[in-house]
Structure 1
Amino acid sequence: MKAFLENLEQFAIDVILERRHGRAAVALRVLLRALAYLYEGIVVLRLRFFEWRFSRVHALGCQVISVGNLTVGGTGKTPIVEKLARRLTDGGRRVAILSRGYKSTPLPFLQRVKNRLRGRDNASPPRVVSDGSRLLLGSDLAGDEPYMLAKNLRNVVVLVDRDRVKSGLHAIRHFGADVLLLDDGFQYLPLKERFDVVLVDREAPYGGASGSAGNLLPRGMLREPHRHLKRANLLVITKCDGSDLAPLKADLRRHNRHAPFVECSHAPRYLEDLRTGERVPLSLLKGQRVGAVSGIARPESFEGGLRALGAEICYSRSFADHHRYAGPEILNALARSKARNARFVVTTEKDAVRFPEIPLGDFSLPIYFLRVEIELLQGGEVLDALVDRLCATTVPPAKTAHAPAVAHA
């Protein structure tokens, strides 16, 4: 069933991105376009409900920063959240990261039914991935991104719950958090009094390419219409490569006239051996035949990065985003890579946390993950001003914190 659902998901993505052709694909895209109009109506109505206070909103009495985007798929939210958390922690703030834990293992079915029948859907506390000193959950229960963040960050609390109001209150009451970071929080509207950092992928700013770009789900990859960018307090353009951003910025300015811009790139730092934990320089890739394994939204971006570092990809295997690997899949990738004379296999850090335990004797080739970090190119002073203002502000738990004002870049 798992393989069937992943294949169905990949088929739908191929149809949306117009990688599939023929009458059936064309007919399906027509249907998806009609459904996209219905979806847009629901999204807009939901936003209005929160604006008009028909749906309840909450202020938790501390600083809240949301990091999100308009599109489905990877724009680099996790590295940005990690960078913000590090800077805020270094500045003396007690940071908690709130995630919904996408594709984490849910509560047992019977427990969920009992909670619902008893009117206790929100009775269970959020999952504590890290209490700020210990890593308490694996990636299966936490989800990929929360586990990565908890593993890489010290002195930062990481909580998982669909209800970010509940997990925010838990972070404040039980861990003394005074700054809440919402991972993928732009569409989470019940929390008010927050600062919205919205990421825009330079390579695919409105999701996908060709006919799918600019369309809402399920015809395209947009979660909300372009005009909803007006809610952003800061626009971060990711995956910059030095190319001219003036046309993109001009287009973004049509939807948001006030938010300053920050430009950044995803900079590879090193390779880490999954078996030994040894870190090796990126120069190891130069001129080497390697296998590439990934289960992310845009595998072509990962593989292009390996090639840019000088690697020759002799075997490539991509799975659905957030794919949870089985042992035979890894062993098969190792065998196929070795048969093509690969020196080693490379995967992403997000994929590495979903790899199963592999007996040492089964490592026919080394497996490395590529560590990538955010590098600020332009507008870094805007991010510094935000962090400095937060670190200089004392927010009493009983009072409501307003989102900090940041000067335009």
Structure 2
Amino acid sequence: MFSDFFLKSFRILLLPFALIYWLAIVIRNWLFDKNISRSSAFALPLICVGNLSVGGTGKSPMVEYLVRLLKDRYKVATLSRGYKRKTKGYSLAGPSTTALEIGDEPMQFHLKFPEVPVAVGEERIVAIPQLLHDKPDTQAIILDDAFQHRSVRAGLNIILTDHSNLFTRDFYLPTGDLRDLKSSYKRAQIIVVTKCDPAITLEEKQKIIREINPQPGQQVFFTAIEYGEMYHILDHMGYKPEANVEVLLVTGIANPMPLENWLEDHSQSYQVIRYSDHHIFTIDDLKEIRKKFEAMEAENKIILTTEKDAVRLVKFNQEILGWPIYVIPVRHHFLFNEGERFDQSVVNYIQDFDKSAKN
């Protein structure tokens, strides 16, 4: 509690820098709005998944949701920046690709959907033609975390906002978490309020919709986090935890609180080792993890991590051989029985794009 209070107090002191940052993004967006800075469109459907803030709003699970929805209907590919990778420029994932080469989230997509082209590139306007050159049969591209990168104009923009930190209540970096103007939400076709309590009421839903104030034609959806069956990090064998299990949660994600809350209800007790978002694990980290795990007194104990963290840990396959490290998948679950409406909106966008291209 004290550390959170100190952090919030310190961020308030940074208000002058937040105002400078706000002015910079106002000017940047104005240049794009006035076509002084140009946006480029491409002759295929582009679906952008993004947000207005830094931190975990659930972009990676949403990209995975879209891949599952579309991969059996269209030749779909994903394009990410490849945050914290050790390489630069455009790269297309292959059989021997590692997370260090393309980043943890793209590596996660590549491992889960090996039949789907997964590419990275800081400059998407350059990377898209290269991706289409390598995979000329591509029919649609999902752009991961590209909403604020306006040099490419997507036809369908899906922005996510965390229920516990709605963009309407946030402030600009570094005092708050906003990295884009609040008014930029108007450029999106779909807004998804993520990480909701599954028991959220219709009254609260309508209250949030009024607060967001969607523009004509904009759709607002609500999702909750859904955790899948755990599996071992190396052999991918499924695992169902017993009620008396003690868990060491190892995580380097932006917001581990939903998972910690889940563990409160699904474990005897748990401890946490938190690393920064996209943390690159080292041998020293493994030593720290092992030391803390061995100090846990319970006989029935496991190490738990997320899929995003797992792709950065699996490189130590020899060092962690025999360790009870399990991975827990995360998915979006659409509330109020609106999943089919969301799915149809995405499919309709591609179908309408194809029809207009033929005419």
Q: TM-score, normalization: structure 1?
A: 0.79
Cα distance in structure 2, aligned partners of 1:331 and 1:386 = 48
User: Aligned partners of 1:328, 1:173: CA distance in 2, in Å?
Assistant: 42
2:218 to 235, 249, 259: 259
Percent identical residues = 27
Partner of 1:298: 255
1:19 aligns with 2:1: no
Distance 1:202 1:362, change over 3 A: closer
Residues 220-278 of structure 1: CA distance to partner in whole angstroms, max 9, x if unpaired?
1011232221111001111122223333222111x645411222222111111123221
Query: Could you tell me how far apart the structure 2 residues matched to 1:320 and 1:136 are?
Result: 26
Q: Is the 8 A contact 1:260 1:382 kept in 2?
A: no
**Which among 36, 40, 46 is matched to residue 64 of structure 1?**
46
- Structure 2 CA distance for partners of 1:360 and 1:400, relative to 1, 3 Å: same
The residue that corresponds to 1:111 in the other structure is none
- 1:136 is displaced (CA, Å) by 4.3
The corresponding residue for 1:172 is 132
Distance 1:49 1:328, change over 3 A: same
Structure 2 equivalent of residue 38 of structure 1: 20
In structure 2, the residue corresponding to 1:29 is in which secondary structure?
helix
Q: Indicate yes or no: 2:289 matched with 1:333.
A: yes
Residues 360/73 of structure 1: CA separation in 2 closer, same or farther (3 Å cut): same
Q: Which residue of 1 aligns with 2:32?
A: 50
**Contact 2:233–2:314 at 8 Å: present in 1 too?**
no
Deviation track 1:80-137 (CA, whole Å, cap 9, x = no partner) reads: 111111211111x111211111111134xxxxxxxxxxxxxxxx6x1112xxxx4442
How many Å separate the matches in 2 of 1:359 and 1:87?
Answer: 32
Asked if the contact 1:60/1:400 (under 8 Å) is kept, the reply is no
Q: How does 1:129-148 map to 2 (within 5 A)?
A: 129=93, 134-148=94-108
Check the 8 A contact 1:88/1:391 in 2, yes or no.
no
- Residue in 2 that maps onto 1:348: 306
Match of 1:121 in 2: none
What amino acid does structure 1 have at the position aligned with 2:144?
A: D
Tell me which of 76, 91, 100 is aligned to 2:58. 76
Contact 2:234–2:317 under 8 Å retained in 1: no
Q: Paired residue for 2:161?
A: 200
1 CA distance for matches of 2:317 and 2:27? 52
For the 8 Å contact 1:331–1:362, the answer to whether it is kept is: no
Distance, in Å, in 1 between the alignment partners of 2:127 and 2:341 is 28
* Conserved 8 A contact 1:135-1:151: no
For 2:142 and 2:81, the matched residues in 1 are separated by 12
The answer on whether the counterparts of 2:104 and 2:308 sit within 8 Å (CA) in structure 1 is: yes
Moved more, 363-372 or 230-239: 363-372
Q: Distance in 1 between matches of 2:129 and 2:116?
A: 16
| Residue ranges of structure 1 left out of the alignment (5+ in a row) | 1-13, 108-123, 208-212, 403-409
3-state SS, counterpart of residue 54 of structure 1? coil
> What amino acid is aligned across from residue 350 of structure 1 in structure 2?
K
Provide the aligned length of Structure 1 versus Structure 2: 351
Provide the residue aligned with 1:319 in structure 2: 275
1:386 equivalent in alignment to 2:342: no
Indicate conservation of the 8 Å contact 1:338/1:365, yes or no.
no
The residue identity in structure 1 corresponding to 2:218 is: A
- Please tell me the residue identity of whatever aligns with 1:147: M
Q: Counterpart amino acid of 2:286?
A: I
Q: Per-residue CA shift, 1:263-319, capped at 9, x if unaligned? A: 2222111111123221123xx152311111111111222211222323410x32101
Q: Which of 119, 127, 134 is 2:91 aligned to?
A: 127
Are the aligned partners of 2:11 and 2:176 in contact in 1 as well (CA < 8 Å)?
no
SS at 2:71 equivalent: helix
Runs of 4+ in structure 1 off by over 3 angstroms are 28-31, 255-258, 356-365, 390-396, 399-402
- Matched residue of 2:222: which SS? strand
- After superposition, the CA RMSD in angstroms is 2.6
Distance 1:272 1:214 in 2: 36
Q: Distance in 1 between matches of 2:135 and 2:253?
A: 32
1:110 equivalent in structure 2: none
Structure 2: segments with no counterpart, 5+ residues: none
Partner of 1:215: 171
